[in-house]
Structure formats: C-alpha cells, structure tokens
C-alpha cells in the first residue's frame, strides 16, 4: 500500500513540473525567443498539467488530516487551484479557437502557471509549515455568500455559452 | 522567484516540523540519519516512568529534554520508542496503548514549541500497560533544527526497562474499557464520569501547569472540570478507594484548544466552481477579434487591382492602365480586331469599305 501523502507528492510534482515547463515556454513566446516548437510545448504541457491536476486534488484531500476542510490554507488552495484550472482551460480553448500566441495569450498562460505555483506554495505552508511565499494569506479566506457565487457561476456559464455560439457563427 | 530563493536560508532540517504522528524511528532516521546532513544534539534527554506499573492499567511516561538550541521556529520533536532497531519500535508493538500524548493526540511522535526562556521541555504520555506482566524497554529520541538553520540535530536518551506487575485482584481501579477525554474547546466545562472496578468511593482533583492540586466535588461518580480561558492543559486524577488496596490514578491530561476553523463547505465549493467557469469564460472572451481574423486572411494586396503589372483588363493600377480609352470615329472593329497591316487612321477612312466587301456590311 502506498499512502495518499506519497501519491500526493508524486502527482503534485507531475502537475508543477508540467506547469513550470508550460510557463517557461509561454515566457519564451512572450519574449519572441526560442524555437518555433515552444508554442506547442507550452500548450501540450499545460494540458498535461491539467490532466494530472485531479489526481493531485484527490490525493491531497485524502492525505489531509481530519475530515473536510478545517484549515484556511486548504480553502485558499481550493479556490486558487480551481481559478488556475479555469484559466488554463480557457487558454487551451482560446488557442483551439485560433488565437495567436501573442503577448496577451502568453500572459494568460503565465498567470495560470503562477496561480498553480502559488497553490503549491500554500501546500508547502500547510504540510511543512514553510514556504518561499511568505505573503500568502494564512488565516484569511475571501468567501462569497452563496448567492454571489451563484451569480458568478451563471455569469461564467453565460459568457462561456455566448463565446461558443459566436465562435460557431 | 530568484529574490525569494535568495532571501531564504537553506537548511537540511525542516523547521516547520513534520507534525505529530504514529511513526517508527525509521522515519526520523531517514530524515536525520545521514551524518552528512545531521549532527548529534547537544541536548540531554531523559525518560521518567512511574515507580510501579500495573498490567492493563494506566501509567505516565515523561520525556524531559534540556539544553536544546532549536531553530527559529522553536519546534522540538520527540519519539517515544521501545527499541533502537528503527522499525517495529512503537509502544504499540510491545502491547502498550497510547491513551494521550502531550498535544492531546495518541501519537508516539510529538512536536512542541520550546519556550525561549525555558531550561527544559517535558513531553508527557499517558499509556495503558500491556495486559501481561512483561518487562518493556523504553527510550526517546529528540529531533530539532538550529538557530543558524544548518544541519538537523538528533539526540537519544538511555534505554530504561519498565517492570510491569500483575495488579492485586481487588485493586481499586478504573474500568478496563474506560477512556479519558483528551481534548475540549476553550470556554466549556467538562464533566467526567468515571467507570470503575472494585471501587466504593473516590475523590478527584485537578491542577494547572503543575501547580497545587484543587479538590473537585464528586457526585454520582462524576465531577466537573472548570472551563479553560486560554489554550493549554489541565491535569486531573482520582483517588480510588475500595475493599482492596486503594489506588491513585495517573495525572490525566485534558488539552483545551481554540475551536477548529470552520467553513461553509457548500459556499466554498460553489465559489470554487464559480471561479472555474468565470475564468474559462473571461479567457475565452478575450478570443481573437474579427479584425485580427481579417488580417490573417487579408489578401487585398494580391488582387489584380493592386497589381501594377497586370493587364488593364483585370484592373491594373499602373498609369498606363488607368488612362481613359481613346474613342475612334469610323466603323466598329471586326471581331478579330484591326485587320493585319491596317492602321487606325486607315480604318477610320476605309473601314466601311472593308466591311462591305469582306463581312457583308458590318459586324453583328
């Protein structure tokens, strides 16, 4: 048997490695340096990181002590990782829709990568009590009322649907 | 990122600790066993046990750590072990049950913060002895970092042997299946009901921070401990009296902690999914505009109208092609154009004759 903690370390390294590779390639795209393949690598690595992310989330939940979310760090980790995943999915869809890998596109990809790295930093603070990111909120969670979240959720879906329809048109 | 890396000291220790857990020394050895990255702790570690330990009953084991120079986070971790083999060395492997540890858990590895002005730090475990009178070895190891953040440090106590005795048959005692409460929240009183065997009456008392004991009122085999104002530990014990030998229990520890952080998980997950969809939507909304699309496929500069070389028939833009066509007087040109050898001036004057003689009067 392998403990959930060990599997979490493995899957997390997979996610972070993929996202870092992607972020580096997006940086090269933004700077206009490096070989042409950097665009493909940036997006495929982003996709790889996204595929590995659910494994990291599930093993992380299983490895966390206690039942449920009993620490502000875990709550911030959840919110940040879901935002990063949303951004990364958006970047991939945007590319699929024919967007050029310009500064805006590369910037969005890098923000997504940065958010994932921030999430990993929170994990370090939670598991080991230390992180390079000394500024991360340790006791504060920006939690919206449910009705605000519902509005944002509907808004997001409407924007998503509208964009899809426009693309088909 | 480089700035962050440079601003952080590098250490082989883990100043944030590993957290309390049930671990064999294999764990501590894997982290602190490498002589290249760890050193012998200058601290003194001693294990203190009760004079008389009855089989199947509670006893207290204390580990006192002195002269520690821990890291800036002041964390010190201690293992309570039964041998030096590095595996199968927890008290449970020898039939002992950890009833409570120094933090109110049931672990053999515990981390505590070493107070700055303190000369020593005591880790206390309440254990239930094995059911049989089997002697057991006990030892403790200490693990900590250092002020300068260098290597990890590991120290070890001497191994002591505990003799476990069979209790007298009618010894006044707590019931074999009774378990003491370990933790509570700040601000709440705790009522404890004792389940006993061979006990006719008992008294109870408590103390705080090792101070003088305070008697408690016992009613219906129960007593109530006062509420805690701050996080900390309150200790209590009972004097059991019966027909046989009396017994004073060990000091049981009750840890008061801040209420656990709580969050409305429905709202949290709702917000997480809302952010997921919002970010997907916002990113896609930044999709390439029609103008950019047009630029990608704009071949206006390649149409004939922009071609300065192309024939005027296709809209050549050069000056030669944009001159207005000169009209001519005279009959219309035949389908094949000006007859061979003719000039336009000749055609104006004699063209009609040519048409009459060759094409029957003109063109259709």
Of residues A129 and B252, more confidence is placed in: B252
pLDDT tens for each residue of B213-263: 999 998 888 999 999 888 888 999 999 998 888 889 989 989 888 777 788
Which DSSP symbol is given to B94? G
CATH T-level assignment (fold) for domain B9-165: Immunoglobulin-like (2.60.40)
- Given a cut of 50, is residue B137 above it in pLDDT? yes
Residue B69 clears pLDDT 90, i.e. is over it: no
Q: What is the 3-state secondary structure (H, E, C) of B253-285?
A: EEEEECCCCCCCHHHHHHHHHHHHHHHHHHHHH
Alpha carbon of A103: minimum distance to chain B alpha carbons (Å): 12
Helix, strand, coil % in chain A, rounded to nearest 5? 75, 0, 25
Residue A1 predicted with pLDDT over 70: no
pLDDT at B158 (0 to 100)? 92
| Least confident range of A51-65, B161-175, B253-267, B315-329 | B315-329
The closest CB to that of A90, out of B14, B18, B282, belongs to B282
Which range is most confident: A73-82, B26-35, B68-77? A73-82
Average pLDDT over chain B, rounded to whole? 82
Test B17 with A128 for CB contact under 8 angstroms.
yes
Element (H, E) at B109: strand B109-113
Q: Which residue has the higher pLDDT, A31 or B312?
A: A31
Contact flag A156-B281 (C-beta cutoff 8 Å): yes
Across the interface, do A146 and B266 touch by the CB < 8 Å criterion?
A: yes
pLDDT at B321: 59
pLDDT in tens, A5-31: 788 888 989 999 999 999 999 999 999
Q: CA-to-CA distance for B111 and B31, rounded, in angstroms? A: 15
Which residues in chain B are closer than 8 Å to A89, comparing Cβ atoms? Answer: 276, 279-280, 283
CB nearest B277 (choices: A79, A86, A99): A86
CB A90 to CB B284 under 8 A?
yes
If phi > 0 it is left, if psi is from -120 to 50 it is alpha, else beta; for residue B56 that is: left
Q: For B278, which residue in chain A has the nearest alpha carbon?
A: A156
**A165 CB near a chain B CB, below 8 Å?**
no
pLDDT: which is higher, B106 or B71: B106
pLDDT for res B40: 86
- Are the CB atoms for B190 and B209 separated by under 8 Å? no
**Residues of A with CB below 8 A from B274's CB?**
144, 149-150, 152-153, 156
Interval A89-126: pLDDT, tens: 999 998 988 888 888 999 999 999 999 998 888 888 88
Examine the pLDDT at B306 and tell me if it is beyond 70. Answer: no
Say whether B267 and A145 touch across the interface (CB within 8 A).
yes
Judging contacts by C-beta atoms under 8 Å, the chain B residues touching residue A91 are: 283
- Chain B residues with CB-CB distance to A153 below 8 A: 270, 273-274, 277-278
Minimum Cα–Cα distance from B75: chain A residue: A129
CB pair distance less than 8 Å for A75 and B8: no
Option in A89, A149, A160 nearest B274 (CB)? A149
Q: How confident is the model at residue B364 (pLDDT cuts 50, 70, 90)?
A: very low
* Portion 4-63 of A in contact with B at CB < 8 A: none
Q: What is the pLDDT of residue B273?
A: 92
Q: What is the pLDDT of residue B85?
A: 84
Taking the Cβ of residue A163 and every Cβ of chain B, the question of whether any pair is shorter than 8 Å is answered with yes
Whether B277 sits inside 8 A of A141 (CB atoms) is no
Q: List C-alpha distances in Å: A33 to A24, A30, A110, B1, B195.
A: 11, 8, 16, 21, 76
Cα atoms found within 13 Å of the Cα of residue B60, Cβ hemisphere only: 17
CA nearest B73 in A: which residue?
Answer: A129
In the DSSP assignment, the letter for residue B54 is E
Check CB contact under 8 Å for A153 and B280.
Answer: no
DSSP state of A130: -
B49 min Cα distance to partner chain A (Å): 31
| CB-based contacts of B184, cutoff 8 Å, min separation 6 | B190, B228, B254, B255, B256, B257
Query: Is A132's pLDDT higher than 80?
Result: no
Question: Best interface-test mutation with A: which of B284, B288, B290, B294 has the largest number of A CBs within 10 A?
Answer: B284
Nearest chain A residue to B272 by CA distance is: A79
Helix, strand, coil abundance in chain B, percent, nearest 5: 20, 30, 50
pLDDT tens digits for range A144-154:
889 999 999 99
Q: Nearest CA to CA, how far is B149 from chain A (Å)?
A: 13
More confident residue, A34 or B301: A34
Contact A69 B265 (CB under 8 A): yes
Do B280 and A160 make contact, defined as CB atoms within 8 angstroms? yes
CA-CA-CA-CA torsion sign (B357, B362, B363, B364): negative
A3 pLDDT higher than 80: no
Pick from B5, B75, B271: CB nearest A144: B271
User: Considering only CB atoms, which chain A residues are within 8 Å of B280?
Assistant: 86-87, 89-90, 93, 156, 160
Average pLDDT over residues B279-308: 66
Token pair for A30: 């933004």
Residue with tokens 């605000």: A148
Q: Which of B263, B283, B287 to mutate to test the interface with A (most CBs of A within 10 A)?
A: B283
Give the start-to-end residue ranges of the domains of chain B: 9-165, 173-257, 265-297, 302-358
Q: For the domain bounded by B173-257, which CATH number is listed?
A: 2.60.40.10
Q: Which residue has the higher pLDDT, B19 or B112?
A: B112
Is it the case that residue A52 has pLDDT exceeding 60?
Answer: yes
- What pLDDT is attached to residue A14? 92
| 8 Å CB contact of A130 and B15 | yes
d(C-alpha A52, C-alpha A43), whole Å: 14
Inter-chain CB pairs, A–B, below 8 Å: 149
């Amino acid at each position: 048997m392998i403990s959930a903690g060990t599997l979490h370390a493995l899957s997390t390294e997979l996610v972070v490695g993929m996202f870092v590779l992607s972020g580096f390639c997006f940086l090269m795209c933004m700077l206009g340096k490096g070989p042409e393949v950097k665009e493909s690598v940036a997006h495929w690595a982003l996709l790889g990181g996204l595929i590995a992310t659910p494994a990291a989330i599930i093993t992380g939940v299983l490895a966390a002590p206690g039942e449920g979310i009993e620490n502000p760090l875990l709550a911030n980790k959840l919110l940040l990782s879901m935002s990063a995943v949303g951004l990364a999915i958006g970047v991939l869809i945007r590319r699929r829709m024919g967007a050029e890998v310009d500064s805006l596109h590369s910037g969005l990809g890098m923000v997504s990568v940065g958010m994932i790295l921030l999430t990993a930093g929170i994990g370090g603070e939670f598991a080991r009590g230390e992180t390079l990111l000394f500024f991360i909120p340790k006791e504060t969670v920006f939690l919206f009322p449910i009705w605000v979240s519902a509005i944002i959720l509907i808004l997001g879906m409407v924007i998503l649907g509208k964009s899809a329809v426009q693309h088909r048109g | 990122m480089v700035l962050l890396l440079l601003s952080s000291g590098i250490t082989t220790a883990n100043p944030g600790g590993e957290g309390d857990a049930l671990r064999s020394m294999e764990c501590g050895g894997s982290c602190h066993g490498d002589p290249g990255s760890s050193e012998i702790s200058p601290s003194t570690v001693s294990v203190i046990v009760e004079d008389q330990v009855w089989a199947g009953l509670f006893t207290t084991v204390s580990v006192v750590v002195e002269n520690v120079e821990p890291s800036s986070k002041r964390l010190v971790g201690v293992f309570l072990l039964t041998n030096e083999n590095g595996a199968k060395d927890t008290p449970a492997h020898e039939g002992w049950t950890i009833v409570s540890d120094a933090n109110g858990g049931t672990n053999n590895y515990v981390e505590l913060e070493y107070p700055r002005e303190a000369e020593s730090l005591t880790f206390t475990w309440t254990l239930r002895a094995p059911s049989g009178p089997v002697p057991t070895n006990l030892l403790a190891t200490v693990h900590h970092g250092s002020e300068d953040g260098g290597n990890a440090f590991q120290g070890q106590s001497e191994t002591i042997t505990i003799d476990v005795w069979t209790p007298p048959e009618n010894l006044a005692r707590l019931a074999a299946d009774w378990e003491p409460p370990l933790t509570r929240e700040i601000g709440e009183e705790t009522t404890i009901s004792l389940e006993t065997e061979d006990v006719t009456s008992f008294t109870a008392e408590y103390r705080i921070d090792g101070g003088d004991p305070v008697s408690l009122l016992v009613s219906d085999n129960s007593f109530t401990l006062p509420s805690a104002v701050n996080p900390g530990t309150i200790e209590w014990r009972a004097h059991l009296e019966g027909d046989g030998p009396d017994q004073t229990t060990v000091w049981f520890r009750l840890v008061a902690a801040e209420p656990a952080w709580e969050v409305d998980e429905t709202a949290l997950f709702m917000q997480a999914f809302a952010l997921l969809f919002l970010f997907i939507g916002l990113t896609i909304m930044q999709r390439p505009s029609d103008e950019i699309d047009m630029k990608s496929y704009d071949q206006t500069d390649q149409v004939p109208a922009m071609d300065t070389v192309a024939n005027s028939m296709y809209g050549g833009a050069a000056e030669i092609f944009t001159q207005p066509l000169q009209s001519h007087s005279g009959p219309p040109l035949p389908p094949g154009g000006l007859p061979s050898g003719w000039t336009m001036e000749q055609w104006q004057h004699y063209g009609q004759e040519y048409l009459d003689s060759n094409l029957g009067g003109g063109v259709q």
